[in-house]
Amino acid sequence: MLSKNRKELPLIDDGNCGDADGGALLKKGPWTSAEDAILIDYVKKHGEGNWNAVQKHSGLFRCGKSCRLRWANHLRPNLKKGAFTREEEHLIIELHAKMGNKWARMAANVKSSPKVKKIQVLVNLYPSSSSIAHIRLPGRTDNEIKNYWNTRIKRRQRAGLPLYPPEVCLQALKESHRTSAVSGGDKGTHDILQNNTYEIPDVIFDSLKANQNVLPYVPELPDISASCMMMKVLGSSQYSSFMPPAIHRQKRLRESAAFSPGYTAAVKNDCPLFEQFEDNMFDKAAQPFGQSFPFEPDPLTKKSQSFSAFQGSHALSHGNFSASEPTLEAVKLELPSLQYPETELENWGTLSCSSSLLESIDAFIQSPQTTSGVVLDSLSPRNSGLLDALLHEAKTLSSAKNHASDKSSNSSTPCDIAERSNFNTCETEWENYGETLSPMCHSATSFFSESISASGSSLDEQPPAETSTEPHTKSGSSDHVLTPEVEKEAPFWSDGSCPDTLLASNWLEQGSGYDKDHTIMIDAIATLLGDDLSGEYRSMLAVTTVSSQAWEPSWCAWNNMPAVCQMSELP
DNA sequence: AATGACGGCAACCGCTAATGA
DNA sequence: ATCATTAGCGGTTGCCGTCAT
C-alpha cells in the first residue's frame, strides 16, 4: 500500500533540495521516463551544469541536485550498465585498498581544479608520463561503485571473510612499509587522507615506473592511506568480525563462494593459503575470535606456520587498533556506511595484544625519544594510532641502517614488555634494531616478522622465518644492491629491511636516467606553473634528486599538491 | 502459497570544496 | 577578504525483486 501510494503520490520535496522556485513543491522519489526525457532534452539544449536552472527552463519539478544525480548516474552518455566484470571487481578492490572510500575518484569522474589542470598539461608534455592517464572505472558511477562495495562488505562480513583478500593485504602492507621509509612522521595519515594528495605521486610515478623502468623503488604516498584504510577496515570489529551473527554455515559458504568466483579462484591460485583460510574459517568460526583466531599454528609445519603469518595482518589489525583512540576515531570516519558498535571497541585489546604491550605503545607514542644517536624529532609520530607508530618504526629502522649505530646492550625497554606479550612470535634481525630504537619496536618487529613469514611461505615460497634470534635473511638482503628484479623477487619484507633510502641511494648512484629526466621535469614544472606551485614543486622535486636522505621531506611535500591528475580530462 | 530476510539499486541528505561576485 | 551560490562527494535510506523457510 505504501509503495503504491508512493508511486501514485510521489513525495514532495520539503525544501531540502534547494527550493529554487521560491516555494514550488519539488518532486522526489523515482524518476519517470517522461522526466528523463525532459532532462535529456534540457541537457541537449543547454549542456550540463547550472542544474538549479533546469526547473526554471524545463518545467521539471525536480531540484538541481536531483537532476544532476539523475543525469550523472543514469542519463549521461557512455554510461556502462550491467553487472561489474571480473576485471572491474579486481580494480575496485585494488582501488579501495589504495584510496579508501573515494568512489568518485575510482569512477574517474572528478573535476580538476585549475592548478591540477596545469599539472595535467605538464604531464601531457612530459613524454615519460604519458601513461599517467589513470582511467579508473570509466562508465561507472561513484554510486554504482559505492553500492557494489557496500554490498561486498556485507557479503564478506557475513561470510566471515576478511574484507581484503590476502594478496591485497600483503601488497598494501608491503607498499605501506615502503612508504613508511619515505614519508615524514610528522605528516600523519589523516593529513594525507584529508588532503587527497595521493593522486599526483601515484600517477606520476606509476607512469615513470611503467614507462622507463628506471625506478627500482617507487614511493607511493597513497599507500599510507591504503594500509591505513585497510587496517582500519580490517581492524574494525565490524569488518573483521569472524563471528557472523546467526547465519548458517551453509549459507556463509554459499555466499563466500558466490562472491566473485573468478576472483576467489584467482586468489586461491596465487595464494593457496587463501583456500585454507576459507576452509578453516568456518570450522573455527564457532569459537570466540580472540581465542581461536588467529589459530594456533603448528610450528613444525611450514604450511600452518605460514598461515599463521598470513593472518598476521588480521591479528595486527585487531591487536593494533586497540592501541589508541585517535585511530579508532579515524576508523569511524573512514567506515563506509556501516558503523561498528561502540561497545565492542573495548574488546579489541583482548583479541591479540596484551595490555602491557598496548600501554607501552601508547607510552611511546606520547613520549617520543631519541635512541642510539638517531634523532627522531622529525620522525616522531603524532599520537594518531599504531600506524604512525609503525611508520615511525620503519623509519627508525632505516635510520639505524644508515647510521650503523651502536647497539646498546640489553637495556630494559618496553620491548621487553612486548616480549612477554602475546606477540611472542618468531624473531628476526628486526629485533636487533628494535631493541634499542623504539619502545614499541617489538610489536612492529613481531608484526614484520609475521609478515615476512607470511610472504615467504605463501607468496614467495620462502622458508618460514626461524624462531630464533639469529640474524639471517635481512642483513644479507639489505647488503645487496637491490635491482628492481632483485627487489621484486625478494621476500615480502626483505625490501623493508633494506631501507628505502638505501634503495634510492643505490639507484641514484647507479646513474639511472631518472635524475636527468627528473631535472627536465622540474624545469617543465617551473615553466608551466609559474606561480606559487612552481617553487614548491621545484624544491621538493629537486631535493628528491639530490639526496636519498631527502626522500622524506620531499615526499611529504606532496601533501600540498592538488588532488587529481587525470589525462582523461585533458583536451 | 505466505512470509520474512536479504541483496541490489536508486535516490536523497548533509556537508564541504570550488567558484564567482 | 568575504559572502553567496553551485557542484560534487560520501553516507544513508527506502523500495522492490528474489530467495529461502
Tens digit of pLDDT for each residue in A394-413? 444 444 444 433 333 333 33
Q: What mean pLDDT do residues A154-158 have?
A: 73
- As a rounded value in angstroms, the CA-to-C1' distance for A11 and B5 is 27
pLDDT confidence of residue A61: 85
Phi and psi angles of residue A371, each rounded to the nearest 5 degrees, phi first: -140, 150
As a whole-number percent, the residues of chain A with pLDDT over 70 amount to 20
User: Which residues lie across from A371 on neighbouring strands?
Assistant: A374
Q: Is the pLDDT of residue A340 over 70?
A: no
pLDDT confidence of residue A104: 81
Residues 75-104 of A with CB under 7 A from strand C: 101-104
**Integer Cα distance of A460 and A471 in angstroms:** 20
Q: What mean pLDDT do residues A109-134 have?
A: 39
By C1' distance from the Cα of A2, the closest nucleotide is C15
Residues 48-77 of A with CB under 7 A from strand B: 62, 65-66, 69-70, 73-74
DSSP A141: -
A146 touches strand C (CB under 7 A): yes
Q: What mean pLDDT do residues A142-160 have?
A: 79
Q: What 3-state class would DSSP assign to A491?
A: coil
Q: Is the pLDDT of residue A69 over 70?
A: yes
pLDDT band at A123 (very low <50, low <70, confident <90, very high): very low
Which of A79-88, A458-467, A512-521 tops mean pLDDT?
A: A79-88
A143 touches strand C (CB under 7 A): yes
Q: What mean pLDDT do residues A198-212 have?
A: 36
pLDDT confidence of residue A106: 81
pLDDT band at A177 (very low <50, low <70, confident <90, very high): low
- As a rounded value in angstroms, the CA-to-C1' distance for A423 and C12 is 39
Please check whether residue A105 is in contact with residue A193, taking contact to mean a CB–CB distance below 8 angstroms.
no
Cell triple for A260: 566473485
pLDDT confidence of residue A297: 33
**Integer Cα distance of A439 and A450 in angstroms:** 19
The shares of helix, strand and coil residues in chain A, as percent rounded to the nearest 5, are 65, 0, 35
Exposure string for A29-58, b = 16+ CB within 10 A, e = fewer? eebeeebeebbeebbeeeeeeebbebbeeb
- As a rounded value in angstroms, the CA-to-C1' distance for A110 and C8 is 8
Q: What is the dihedral of CA A384, A378, A535, A560, to 10 degrees?
A: 0
Please check whether residue A162 is in contact with residue A528, taking contact to mean a CB–CB distance below 8 angstroms.
no
- In angstroms, the Cα distances linking A224 to A189, A211, A239, A311, A500 are 6, 24, 20, 20, 15
**What residue is closest to B17 (Cα–C1')?**
A113
Tens digit of pLDDT for each residue in A252-275? 333 444 444 444 444 444 443 333
Tens digit of pLDDT for each residue in A11-66? 454 444 544 344 457 788 888 888 888 888 888 888 887 888 887 788 888 888 88
Q: What is the CATH number of domain A2-75?
A: 1.10.10.60
A154 touches strand B (CB under 7 A): yes
A239 touches strand C (CB under 7 A): no
Q: Is the pLDDT of residue A546 over 60?
A: no
A175 touches strand C (CB under 7 A): no
pLDDT confidence of residue A431: 32
Cell triple for A404: 650503523
By C1' distance from the Cα of A67, the closest nucleotide is B11
Residues 385-424 of A with CB under 7 A from strand C: none
Tens digit of pLDDT for each residue in A343-388? 333 333 333 333 333 333 333 333 333 333 333 333 333 333 333 4
Domain boundary assignment for chain A: 2-75, 339-477
Q: Is the pLDDT of residue A87 over 50?
A: yes
pLDDT band at A473 (very low <50, low <70, confident <90, very high): very low
Q: Is the pLDDT of residue A108 over 60?
A: yes
